[in-house]
Amino acid sequence: MKIALFHYHLKPGGVTDVIVYSVRALLSHLNHLDQLEEIRLVTGVEDGIERVLERIREGFERRVGDIIRLDVLEEIGYVENEREPDSDQLAMRLIARYDEDTLWWVHNYHLGKNPAFTAALMKIAGSGTRDMLFHIHDFPECGRSDNLERLDSAIDEPPYPSGPRIRYAVINERDRRILSDAGLSESVSLLMNPVPLSPTAAADPIGMREALEELCFDDNPGYIPGAPILLYPVRAIRRKNILEAALLVRLLDEPANLIVTLPGVSEQEKAYSDLISAAYKEGLISGIWCPEATGDDRLNYPRLASSCDAVISTSVQEGFGYLFLNALHWQKPLLARYLDILDGVLDLFGDYPRRFWADFRIPATPELTRKTQNAYFDKIRKIESSLPDKSVKSINSAASKLTAGGGIDVSYLKVEDQLEILIKARDDTGWVEETRLLNRELLDSAGRTLKAKAPGMDSTIEAHFGEGAYMRSFTSIISSFGSKTPTPSPVKVRESVRKAFGRIDYLRLLYNG
């Protein structure tokens, strides 16, 4: 088998990690059978590729590691304001470079970050001359209206081809269901990310607290000595909805501290990250901002994970959700906003100490209600041409009913309004009591969860997400190539996918720039 594995870049992050873990799984399980001749990592950016190669090869014999090769093709990298490559020329170049005996394994092929690359892939897929596995981590239809608009303008036909040489891999049950319902049920497979169990540090909660108070307290006046430490191990980007986590830890009957581990660094996210950082410095958030930046070993990532009291997530959008599984690995109670990507793995959490919620409400004044609803109506008007008519109606209806249950879910507010709410939580005791009353059951349950002891779950994680489970799914996909599958109209597939993501959940004001 020869594989050409494509991704726009190999910079540190989620998809790059998945590529590293999956290629290592292939090397471990296929090479000893002489089934794997070559894997070419094809990327558009040179930055980071040598480190990725080191991570993949680590621990393997040289003859095994040498199977991995690197190709840098600038034409497949992210395209921002530069002129996009010519899709016809790119298609010809790719066909000439990667022959018919090679599996083309393309990650996030239709994200909208390089529409010309997607267009080239669609031309090649239409020729039926290559086995192509389209591995979807994120959909452009899911809250990425700018990406979707660019994609629509660049391709002649919706990017959902089908046929005996086309297969799709998705990373959660929700996405498998969406593509199956769209007519691709025999072409799509669930290929959940491999989850290597990283080594854990010895727990040292006393040392961690001493370091927090010695090194971080002056810049984080909201920190509460002795209060529980809730770890939110993420970058400070908008979809992580960090101000909701800050509000929750402040409203708990026994207030807690929130630790966010990394700042947002991209141009799109830096303003949000700076806002969160400022909220810590002003004492609006009880806890510590990015303690790893001190460089003290007591505050490195493994030590924070092993020494914290619980893990929290208020993210409103994830593709896979490593954080949820990490909580199990670290044996920490989990407080988390429920996401539909968890539908297929909820049984794993069984009696594990966790509290999921789908609603966290704050009092809604007429002014806040009107302002929030109008912001949604405006947003919908701007993107309605890319949505089915029924979706436009249902989203408008949902926006008009945001306060129907009493109060308004904080995750649906603009960032600026979330910040104002946090100020109220600090300064207005009457507002605090009213909000606690709205969320009494959630707060009581969260408080009990924080005090529970978490069992070891590593064997369960290994059984579901280890290399063996990953390879069973992957080899099943490979063996399916060549068999005939239904060939639904790409237009109908597109409309079905857009309808599935045409919900207010995926259009939150948090995403606004």
pLDDT tens digit string along 261-273? 999 988 889 999 9
Alpha helices in 235-342 (DSSP H): 242-251, 270-281, 301-307, 322-330
What angle, 0 to 180 degrees and rounded to 10, lies between the N-to-C axes of helices 270-281 and 415-427?
A: 10
Task: Check residue 76 and report its DSSP letter.
Answer: G
pLDDT tens digit string along 306-351? 999 999 999 999 999 999 999 999 999 999 999 999 998 999 999 9
Percent of the chain with pLDDT over 70: 98
pLDDT at 452 exceeding the cut of 70 = yes
State the CATH architecture for 205-360+415-459.
3-Layer(aba) Sandwich (3.40)
Read off the tokens for 234: 């993420």
Q: How does 66-97 read in b/e, with b if 16+ C-beta sit within 10 Å?
A: ebbeebebebbbebeeeeebebeebbeebbee
Cα dist from 411 to 129, 145, 242, 324, 372, whole Å: 46, 19, 10, 19, 11
pLDDT tens digit string along 455-469? 999 999 999 999 999
So what's the pLDDT on residue 406?
Answer: 87
pLDDT tens digit string along 193-245? 999 998 889 999 999 999 999 999 999 999 999 999 999 999 999 999 999 99
So what's the pLDDT on residue 267?
Answer: 84
Q: Tell me the helices (H) and strands (E) count for the chain, helix number first.
A: 20, 15
pLDDT at 184 exceeding the cut of 60 = yes
Residue with tokens 């994200």: 111
**Domain 2-194+466-494 maps to which CATH number in 3.40.50.300, 3.40.50.2300, 3.40.190.10, 3.40.50.2000?**
3.40.50.2000
Domains 2-194+466-494 and 205-360+415-459 are alike in CATH topology: yes
Task: Return mean pLDDT, the chain.
Answer: 94
Q: Residue ranges per domain, the chain?
A: 2-194+466-494, 205-360+415-459
Give yes or no for a contact between 395 and 507, defined as CB atoms under 8 angstroms apart. yes
Read off the tokens for 467: 């290399």
So what's the pLDDT on residue 145?
Answer: 85
Cα dist from 468 to 38, 52, 168, 462, whole Å: 21, 22, 20, 8
pLDDT tens digit string along 116-162? 999 999 999 999 999 999 999 999 999 888 889 999 988 989 999 99
pLDDT tens digit string along 415-437? 999 999 999 999 999 999 999 99
Find all residues with CB under 8 Å of 138, minimum gap 6, and list them. Answer: 108, 111, 144, 319
pLDDT tens digit string along 57-72? 999 988 888 899 999 9
Sorting pLDDT into bands at 50, 70 and 90, what band is 81?
Answer: low
Phi, psi of 282 (to 5 degrees): -90, 0
**Cα 438 from Cα 456, distance rounded (Å):** 34
Percent of the chain with pLDDT over 90: 87
pLDDT at 33 exceeding the cut of 60 = no
pLDDT at 31 exceeding the cut of 80 = no
Task: Check residue 157 and report its DSSP letter.
Answer: S
pTM of the complete model: 0.93
So what's the pLDDT on residue 288?
Answer: 98
So what's the pLDDT on residue 82?
Answer: 62
- Nearest alpha-carbon partner for 372 in 401, 338, 339: 401
**Cα 15 from Cα 107, distance rounded (Å):** 8
pLDDT tens digit string along 203-217? 999 999 999 999 999
Average pLDDT rounded to a whole number, residues 381-386: 88
What's the CA angle centered on 315, arms 309 and 320, to 5 degrees?
95
Order of strands across the sheet with 38-43? Answer: 68-72, 38-43, 2-7, 102-107, 131-136, 166-170, 188-190
